[in-house]
């Protein structure tokens, strides 16, 4: 039961962060009109978020690992809520960028920590499906932003009120996170330097950029596309645009499930046992099927 | 980080078709990269 509660709360957190990735996207026509932005400047709101995300991840990943996953995820939620609040009351475009950057920093603090948190929850067991659910939370949050924020903005009379509601909901998630179960600290098997030296990690980052990154970038513009090209109402454009992200929600969970099935079949063919137990700790890895060719270099692996 | 403003530039300069072409090009690049990646069982 604590495992399910922990996974549920970490997925709720992922949904909250997913909302911040695209909170401005369906409201671009309103935000751009108020601040006088062109399309590139509107796109830079996403850049502010992910640039802060990148800097925070590179600079603070070691600190985050020492602080522990539960406190880091909570701090990330508080930071994201504050960023959304700042965006909601921003008097100018630069302050809006700072608000978006704060959202990105909060998400970065929580992202790595949450994967470590799930590893701690599962202990020696494989956590692929839980990680898939966690990963699906982000596009789900982005889809929710596209569906509901235009409607809220229309109902409450503007984009600032919609972002204010979002900030309040993220703060509620931060409060709910207090009931997440404590987990044992699972140290990462490597650090950022190992990841930078790892060719496979770079290739995996290309997959992540094309999957998650393009989903967010496309999600930023899909509402505007439907609004401008087909003259649809803002709320309907958001709803139809969210379908783009809904596919990612399903695909991520299915991907986690497929990885788990494949790991089980590999284990069964190697050992005859259908129930693999392994740890993310380097000295307690699952015995694996002998590779067809020996790996030529050390890899940071999935723990980074 | 790069995709959203790049798509914004494509939209305001060439129109939405070029923005979606940008998305397709990155996706095709990533698909090609999958053939160079090693799977989990090869990383032990």
Contacts of B44 in chain A (CB under 8 A): 285, 288, 291, 295
pLDDT band at A81 (very low <50, low <70, confident <90, very high): very high
CA distances from A236 to A43, A231, A303 (A): 21, 10, 41
Considering only the beta carbons, identify the residue of B2, B30, B38 that sits closest to A206: B30
CA closest to A22 among chain B residues: B4
Residue range A30-74, pLDDT digits in tens: 999 999 999 889 989 989 998 999 899 888 877 777 788 889 999
Considering only the beta carbons, identify the residue of A40, A259, A291 that sits closest to B12: A40
**CA distance linking residue A71 with residue A178, whole number of Å:** 9
Tell me how close the Cα of B23 comes to any Cα of chain A, in angstroms.
7
Angle at A12 between CA A7 and CA A13, to 5 degrees: 95
Give me chain A's average pLDDT, please.
81
Determine the pLDDT at residue A147: 87
CA distances from A5 to A9, A16, A93, A125, A127 (A): 6, 17, 39, 17, 15
Considering only the beta carbons, identify the residue of B16, B33, B43 that sits closest to A229: B16
pLDDT band at A114 (very low <50, low <70, confident <90, very high): confident
pTM of the model: 0.75
**CA distance linking residue A270 with residue A233, whole number of Å:** 57
Write the ipTM.
0.81
Q: A7, A134 in Cβ contact below 8 A?
A: yes
Contacts of B1 in chain A (CB under 8 A): 46-47, 50-51, 53-54, 213
Determine the pLDDT at residue A264: 66
Model confidence at A300: pLDDT above 90: no
CB pairs A-B closer than 8 Å: 107
How is residue A260 written in tokens? 């788990």
**CA distance linking residue A214 with residue A152, whole number of Å:** 26
pLDDT band at A143 (very low <50, low <70, confident <90, very high): confident
DSSP secondary structure letters along A212-256: IIHHHHHHHHHHHHHHHHH---HHHHHHHHHHHHHHHHHHHHHHH
**CA distance linking residue A131 with residue A125, whole number of Å:** 12
């Amino acid at each position: 039961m604590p495992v399910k509660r922990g996974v549920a709360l970490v997925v709720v957190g992922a949904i909250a962060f997913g909302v911040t990735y695209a909170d401005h996207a369906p409201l671009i026509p309103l935000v751009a009109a108020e601040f006088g932005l062109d399309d590139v400047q509107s796109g830079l709101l996403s850049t502010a978020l992910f640039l802060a995300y990148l800097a925070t991840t590179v600079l603070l990943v070691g600190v985050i690992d020492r602080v522990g996953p539960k406190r880091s995820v909570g701090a990330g939620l508080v930071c994201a809520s504050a960023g959304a609040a700042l965006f909601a009351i921003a008097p100018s475009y630069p302050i809006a960028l700072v608000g978006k950057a704060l959202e990105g920093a909060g998400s970065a603090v929580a992202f790595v920590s949450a994967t470590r948190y799930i590893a701690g929850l599962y202990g020696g067991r494989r956590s692929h499906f839980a990680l898939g659910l966690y990963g699906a939370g982000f596009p789900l949050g982005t889809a929710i932003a596209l569906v509901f924020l235009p409607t809220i903005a229309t109902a409450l009379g503007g984009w600032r009120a919609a972002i204010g509601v979002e900030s309040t909901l993220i703060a509620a998630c931060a409060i709910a996170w207090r009931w997440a179960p404590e987990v044992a600290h699972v140290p990462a098997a490597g650090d950022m330097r190992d990841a930078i030296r790892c060719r496979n990690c770079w290739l995996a980052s290309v997959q992540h950029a094309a999957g998650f990154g393009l989903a967010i970038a496309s999600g930023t513009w899909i509402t505007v596309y439907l609004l401008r090209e087909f003259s649809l109402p803002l709320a309907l454009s958001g709803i139809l645009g969210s379908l783009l992200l809904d596919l990612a929600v399903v695909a991520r969970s299915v991907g986690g499930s497929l990885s788990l099935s494949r790991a089980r079949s590999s284990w069964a063919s190697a050992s005859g046992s259908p129930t693999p137990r392994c740890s993310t700790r380097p000295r307690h890895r699952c015995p694996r099927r002998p590779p067809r060719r020996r790996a030529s270099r050390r890899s940071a692996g999935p723990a980074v | 980080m790069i995709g959203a403003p790049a798509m914004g530039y494509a939209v305001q300069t060439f129109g939405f078709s070029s923005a979606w072409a940008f998305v397709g090009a990155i996706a095709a690049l990533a698909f090609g990269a999958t053939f160079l990646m090693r799977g989990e069982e090869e990383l032990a």
